Amino acid sequence: MSALALILAKRGYSVSGSDPAINQSFQKLQSAGVIIFKIQSATNIKTICSGKTFKPLIVISTAIPATNPELQAAEQANLEIWHRSDLLAELIENQPSIVVGGSHGKTTTSTIITTLLALTNNDPTAIIGGIVPYYKSNGHAGRGEVLIAEGDESDGTIDKFNSDLGVITNIELDHTNHYSDIWSLIKTMKKFANNSKKLLANKDCDITRENITALKWWSTKTIKDIDYACIPINLNGRETTANYYEEGKLIDKIKIPLPGMHNLSNATAAIAACRIAGISFQELKENLPYIQTPKRRFEFRGTWRNRQFVDDYAHHPSEISATISMARLMINSKHHNLNNSAKRLLVIFQPHRYSRTKDFQYEFAKVLLKADLVIIAPIYSAGEQRVKGIDNQSIETCAKQINPNFPISSANNFEELIKLIQIHTLKDDLILNMGAGNINSLWDKLTALNLESDSDELNVAA
């Protein structure tokens, strides 16, 4: 929503909006002339309509309930109301576009595409679900021809987008509050694929390969019948070296400054999309050293009492597994992106939504056991009603069923979470903080503490 507001303001539209939570987007929006109401009230609608000779267009997200006072006031005033996906679809229609969809990696992939196009002097317009480091924003009103957008499948609205190039990173069941099963998700992704003039897809994903028809395919595993491939030569905790192929022909060796196989796949997709968009391989190779992942994708926040703290958005079992694997690569490798070598991996995980926790609690438990110790924060509801018997302790119970001796704890609130961190962590631990809710505020809460003594020599049994 903030990216859409920023781009429209930069393009000369009068834009206003409301959000009770002050965040880092506020200053950028206000400097672009966006009027922000900090309280959501029916009077806001009256204010923006006052003195106007035309009726404003109201744009809402899926997060806005029918009981929202601004929405109700807009309906009573007979204002035109669009879902944010309708506005994004309109922008996509109006210029050459690349839209990235998929269950995992779409924010990173669209960020890398945006960065590479920017670095090669193509100045794209970008509407991304995360902060793009190059622009320090999730939105950019570029002067170039191409628009890059992240397509959100969570509410099914991705099927509204008619892109020039569609990209599907992978397909795996998630957002079970919207999709009853994998087939309903596949149906939505097929519509997105069919709406794209050209489609680029990941052949390493079984579900995508078996259900989607693509013009171009990429892979990090094979070059057979693959249009774009990066086959890894060396992986460590800092970077990945790979042989790059086009249509089975070796083009060159490349180095990607990102660890992990999932990031290699994301980067390969981005390179392929840029090649389809007409960017030369040599230009891309020269600028690959400068690509970065978006904010909250293994973002190093700092060191707290000799413990390194990393923040990550992972909230699905597959994402958690990939992030833990990357953390292990850093711990076990002499070459890593950490400030100092780490000895143990503590995972702090905040489950996101009761529906997702209910459907994946065993899978969550299974992947969390890959850490050395785990603390589970209370579920971030994202507006959902509680589900009886489903909470962070139900994940802990599943983990104990798999491994009764594994050190795992559950916290009832942030205060208890911080207390458990103090008790169970040691010097040289790597703290990996994961979740899509408000768990990203944990770093600020930790650093705000003024502790008089260290507790490095503590019992780590949960």
Asked whether the CA dihedral 323, 293, 392, 330 is positive or negative, the reply is positive
User: Contact 337/259 with Cβ under 8 angstroms?
Assistant: yes
Reference 81, options 99, 49, 105, 55; nearest CA is 55
3-state secondary structure of 1: coil
22's CB contacts (< 8 A; 6+ apart) are: 38
Does residue 364 have a pLDDT over 90? yes
Does residue 337 have a pLDDT over 80? no
Which pLDDT band, with edges at 50, 70 and 90, does 453 fall under?
very low
442's CB contacts (< 8 A; 6+ apart) are: 348, 377, 414, 417, 418, 433
Task: Give the integer Cα–Cα distance in Å for 325 and 266.
Answer: 16
CA 61 to chain centre: 17
Mean pLDDT of 350-358: 95
What one-character-per-residue DSSP string does 417-447 give?
Answer: HHHHHHHH--TTEEEEEE-SSSGGGHHHHHH
Q: Quote the tokens at residue 324.
A: 């833990």
Q: Is 51 left (phi over 0), alpha (psi -120 to 50) or beta?
A: left
Q: Quote the tokens at residue 396.
A: 């802990």
Which pLDDT band, with edges at 50, 70 and 90, does 374 fall under?
very high
Share of the chain above pLDDT 70, in %: 97
Task: Give the integer Cα–Cα distance in Å for 151 and 106.
Answer: 8
Task: Give the integer Cα–Cα distance in Å for 454 and 285.
Answer: 46
Domains 2-79 and 299-447 share a fold: no
Task: Give the integer Cα–Cα distance in Å for 306 and 149.
Answer: 39
Does residue 454 have a pLDDT over 50? no
> Tens of pLDDT along 77-122?
999 999 999 999 999 999 999 999 999 999 999 999 999 999 999 9
Share of the chain above pLDDT 90, in %: 80
Task: Give the integer Cα–Cα distance in Å for 181 and 284.
Answer: 39
User: Could you tell me the pTM of the whole model?
Assistant: 0.89
CATH topology of domain 87-290: UDP-N-acetylmuramoyl-L-alanine:D-glutamate ligase (3.40.1190)
Show me where the domains of the chain are located: 2-79, 87-290, 299-447
Does residue 458 have a pLDDT over 60? no
**pLDDT in the model for residue 450:** 59
**Cβ-count burial 99-114 (b if 16+ within 10 Å, e if not):** bbbbbbbbbbbbbbbb
> Tens of pLDDT along 276-330?
999 999 999 999 999 998 888 889 999 999 999 999 999 999 999 999 998 998 8
* pLDDT, mean over the chain: 92
> Tens of pLDDT along 224-243?
999 999 999 998 888 999 99
- Per the model's pLDDT, the better-predicted residue between 143 and 155 turns out to be 143
Measured CA to CA in angstroms, residue 298 lies from 31, 104, 242 at distances of 29, 14, 21
Which pLDDT band, with edges at 50, 70 and 90, does 461 fall under?
very low
Residue where the block lists tokens 């030369």: 280
User: Contact 330/338 with Cβ under 8 angstroms?
Assistant: yes
Q: Which CATH architecture has domain 299-447?
A: Alpha-Beta Complex (3.90)
Does residue 140 have a pLDDT over 90? yes
**Would you state the torsion angle of the CA atoms of residues 153, 156, 157, 160, taken in this order, to the nearest 10 degrees?**
100
Measured CA to CA in angstroms, residue 136 lies from 13, 18, 126, 131 at distances of 22, 22, 12, 6
Which CATH superfamily is 2-79 part of? NAD(P)-binding Rossmann-like Domain (3.40.50.720)
User: Contact 320/349 with Cβ under 8 angstroms?
Assistant: yes
SS3 content of the chain, % helix, strand, coil (to 5): 35, 25, 40
Length of the chain: 462
Task: Give the integer Cα–Cα distance in Å for 264 and 255.
Answer: 10
> Tens of pLDDT along 31-54?
899 999 989 999 999 999 988 888
